[in-house]
Amino acid sequence: MVALNFTILGLVVGVVSLFGIAGTLWHRKYRGPKHDRFPPGSLPWNDAFDPGPPPVPRTHTANDLAGCKSICANSWTTETYARRHGLNRLTTLEARAGPNRRLVEVFDINNLFTTIDNDYKKGFGREIGMLLRANNSDWRNIAASAADYLDLYLQSQGDEDVSLIQLIRTTTFRAVLDHFCAAEVILRDDESIVLATETINELWMLSKVQQSTSDKTNLQAKKRVLQDALKRIFPERDVASKAKENPMNIILPSYETMWRVTFHCVTEMLRRIRHDKTLKTIFDNTTREFLNDLDLDARGDGERLPMRHLINESLRLYPPTKRVYRWRQEQMADGRMSEQCALAAADIEAMQRDVGVWRGDAEEWRPMRWMLYKEGPDLPFLPFGSGSMTCPAKGGFGPRMIGVLVSVLFQNLYNIYELRTCDNAEQESLDNLAGPLDSHRDSYRYLFLWKMEAHRCGQA
């Protein structure tokens, strides 16, 4: 009996040893030896390195669901995908932080999208999770505050034409402040908020291009403009610090995600009701009833759409992040790790406009298509990313905030204003209902809200 027990024990130890050896071999094959990876403190996006864009080629771009999921989540572990494109030896945080280091340089942020410290990421994530909690009372307060601000803003413009993009940026920015930073924001003058939103957009575009000496000087000047505006809004915060207290750590991802989707959704609604009065009734009912019941999935009697259909279609056609980038460090033929990272891109926009999935009208904004499609793991719809890198606002906060902002804006604009532009290219884009709006950040600078009654009185 004793001999039998020793035999069994020996077999167990042997099996465990085999698993250990197999695990070590797998780790060396698919993750690389630990000492071959970038050691802590020497990653290419740390302050000790040149902050300019890294000289890395885009070695692979995916526009299919499996490829986009793998890149977004940094889960390059399937044999088929590895054989085609190679596995990434960087950690998930390292892979994401690399392409985002430009945001650290420009906005001095240190958040979920830029850190390589897992403990910091977990702590920051818990705080964000608490901030993303909101009940119906909170949402009604957000909607009421947005409506009050919108009313004051429009009154201040009188009968003058109103820049639609500026209106939506400032309304979104104030809504983000009201929810995330209400207790500490003292000064909320329009001038500081308008300046902050415009400068954030300019800095974002500058961060994406190779910087010449003059460009760097311009970038630093605009950084000071933004910091001065933020100091007037947050007098108690160190807005130039990369520390956790920098308000841009929260404002940048939440505001940036919201305003562009909200802008495209509202613009699509306003440009279409000029040609289809039935849509005017449907959009009116949908937004008005949503502000009453706050139910994203409520269905009407044929004259109301679920608010989620409008939001999903806007997120599909105009994803907040058109392309998701990850850095990769690969193993070379001789077994050593490459010294230079390569770049992989998940083309979310291309995937979500694929006619093979979304049919021949894939580039047309049609909320009714969501009567045929259902969100799920097999649908090429990743506006909030995938896997462990999924945006924390996906669960409900993000879509609901977009729904509130879209509803408040539409209810206050559609019966009073029309869209007008003095730019021929913008007009052609607005008139082409079968195609998407231009999603470039610099688009629609000349798109204004034209007050119908004031112009009619003037003509009379």
Q: By the 8 A CB rule, do 173 and 193 touch?
A: yes
For 89-135, how does the pLDDT look when each residue is reduced to its tens digit (9 = 90+)? Answer: 788 899 899 899 899 989 999 999 999 999 999 999 999 999 999 99
Distance CA 161, CA 428 (A): 20
CA proximity to 324, closest of 105, 77, 63 = 63
Tokens 């460009």 sit on residue? 215
Higher pLDDT: 77 or 141? It is 141
Q: Are 109 and 249 in contact (CB under 8 A)?
A: yes
Q: What is the mean pLDDT of residues 147-159?
A: 92
Picking from 312, 274, 290, the residue whose alpha carbon sits closest to that of residue 431 is 274
Nearest to 58 by CA among 326, 344, 332, 338: 344
The dihedral over CA atoms of 72, 74, 77, 82, expressed in degrees to the nearest 10, equals 80
User: pTM of the full predicted structure?
Assistant: 0.85
In the structure, what pLDDT confidence band is assigned to residue 79 with cuts at 50, 70 and 90?
Answer: very low
Question: 343 has which bridge partners?
Answer: 58, 327
Which residues are within 8 A (CB) of 72 and not within 5 positions of it... i.e. 6 or more apart?
Answer: 324, 326, 346, 382, 385, 386, 387, 389
Helix (H) or strand (E) holding 421: strand 417-421
CA distances from 306 to 78, 140, 402, 403, 436 (A): 38, 18, 14, 10, 22
pLDDT at 339: 65
Token pair belonging to 438: 């231009």
Kind and range of the H or E run holding 406 = helix 397-413
Cross-strand partners of 347: 323
By C-alpha distance, which of 195, 179, 185, 188 is closest to 149?
188
Which pair of structure tokens corresponds to residue 1?
Answer: 């009996």
Rg of the chain over all Cα atoms, to the nearest angstrom: 25
In the prediction, which pLDDT does 85 show?
A: 53
Question: In what order do the strands lie in the sheet containing 447-451?
Answer: 162-163, 447-451, 417-421
From 11-25, 52-66, 171-185, 408-422, the region with the lowest mean pLDDT: 11-25
pLDDT digits (tens, 9 = 90+) for 51-65: 334 445 556 899 999
Q: Is residue 409 within 8 Å of residue 262, measured between CB atoms?
A: yes
Secondary structure class of 197 (helix, strand, coil): helix
Residue 454 has phi, psi (to 5 degrees) of -65, -40
Are 342 and 104 spatial neighbours (Cβ–Cβ below 8 Å)? Answer: no
